[in-house]
Amino acid sequence: MFDTPENLLKFAQDHKVEMIDLKFADLTGRWHHVTMPDAAFTEKVIIEGVGFDSSSLPGFKSETAGDMVLLPDISTAVIDPFWESYTLSIICDIMEADSLVQFSRNPRGVLKKTEQYLKSMNIADSCQISPEYEFYIFDGLELYNDDYASGYDVISYEGDWNRVDDEAHDLGYKIPLQGGYHAIPPLDSMYNLRAEIVKYLESAGIKVKYHHHEVGAPGQTEIEVLFNEPLKACDQGMMIKYIIRMVCQRRGKTASFMPKPLYKQAGSGMHFHQFLQKDGKSLFYKEGGYANLSDIALHYIGGILKHTPAVMAFTNPSTNSYKRLVPGFEAPTRLFFGLANRSATIRIPKYDDNPIMKRIEFRPGDASCNIYFAAAAQLLAGIDGIKNKIDPAKEGFGPYDMKVQYLPPEEAAKIKSVPENMLGAMEALDKDRDFLKIDNIFNDDLIDTWIDLKTKEHYDVINRPHPHEFFMYHTI
């Protein structure tokens, strides 16, 4: 890790770095980049940044006021292994051009302010988070979308619908529907590819817990990483998606982080494991209470569950998100918490039940999110719960340690549900935003821009004929 411009520039000179690649996230969470030759990357660039036009990016500035500055965060510098030229990759913040003040819609800036706010509360030294990365690896994906035709074709040699001439891919090793969890070779055909991805992740300084085949038969994969502070974890999250996509592309495959790319197959979530830490220990542990949770943990849970519909505007910000959040799968549809309960919005893992690592798991989220906004919204909701001592039991959020469909109907009916679609989440955010606006972390301008952008996406999908509608209605 580099802590001074001098150290970084010396490294670049000593290692004969040829290109400096400056990466930054737009409002939706997609990465963009601009590249400089090493000779143009000076201490002045590190201090004053590089100008760019933000007006071409969704949700940023208008054409008349689009000038912004990318300010490199040199602590994120790492060699990008995919370039033919020896290239140093650096993640940037987005700043106002005239003042070098953080742009209020800069995703990294929002999360930075959230971390600062947590420390100012004197509740904890830090928050520790570990997102799970679930995604599908396909052997091919064809897309077409015109006024007169729309559709997709997924190719997967693990999928039982594909029959191919190549004997290496048609030897009868097909994973049955919903049968992929921890599948072993030769059923699991992705093990070498996953191992290659993990090697690249570790070379980038990202510590991996493990990788395995997930439930979805046609190439669903999970990679779990170790805990980190939110900004570092989210920077790593951006790099993880980049590395996965690049390795897959090199091997003639494609990775999809869509929450629900295939009907009837398991969806891909991004479960956020998290706890507050002080003096090297989890503030969520207290022996003897429910699931050995402390009062701070329960209030943190209460805050997240109370604000979950609004939080999901950031953790589940796609129309596809809500195709995953349907009954019958492990993805949660009801607002409650429980011990080891995978149908709960907040699950309390049974493992790592100790003073060091006691944690909770927020399960609705998915990788269509802007990871910086998603982490900030969860943390601010939890802090609000601690500040206001929100008791999740008194608020009707459980705990329930069984599937809620087994409850008596009158009791099950009392449990609130998550939003049914993205528009519902945006409406919840519009009504419940004050907990995000504390210390001007999220402001009304950012929230309103987000709601407008995502509402347009909702209607972009709703207003188009769906292919299945032709099967249902063409002959009516």
222 belongs to the catalytic site = yes
* Closest C-alpha among 216, 205, 269 to residue 243: 205
Is the CB of residue 373 less than 8 Å from the CB of residue 314? yes
Q: Which of 93, 139, 222, 457 is catalytic?
A: 222
Is the CB of residue 225 less than 8 Å from the CB of residue 134? no
Separation between Cα atoms, residue 134 and residue 147, nearest integer Å: 32
Q: Which of 214, 235, 366, 384 is catalytic?
A: 214
Query: Can you give the length of the chain in residues?
Result: 476
Separation between Cα atoms, residue 339 and residue 131, nearest integer Å: 19
32 belongs to the catalytic site = no
Separation between Cα atoms, residue 61 and residue 53, nearest integer Å: 9
167 belongs to the catalytic site = no
Q: Which of 361, 366, 384, 457 is catalytic?
A: 361
Q: Which of 73, 80, 93, 132 is catalytic?
A: 132
Q: Which of 26, 73, 134, 188 is catalytic?
A: 134
Q: Which of 33, 67, 342, 395 is catalytic?
A: 342
CA distances from 275 to 262, 288, 302 (A): 33, 18, 14
Q: Which of 6, 43, 53, 444 is catalytic?
A: 53
Q: 192: Cβ–Cβ under 8 A, 6 or more apart, which residues?
A: none
330 belongs to the catalytic site = no
DSSP-assigned beta bridge partners for residue 177: none
271 belongs to the catalytic site = yes
Separation between Cα atoms, residue 471 and residue 370, nearest integer Å: 35
363 belongs to the catalytic site = yes
214 belongs to the catalytic site = yes
Separation between Cα atoms, residue 348 and residue 191, nearest integer Å: 29
Q: Which of 108, 194, 213, 363 is catalytic?
A: 363
Residues designated catalytic: 53, 132, 134, 214, 222, 271, 342, 361, 363
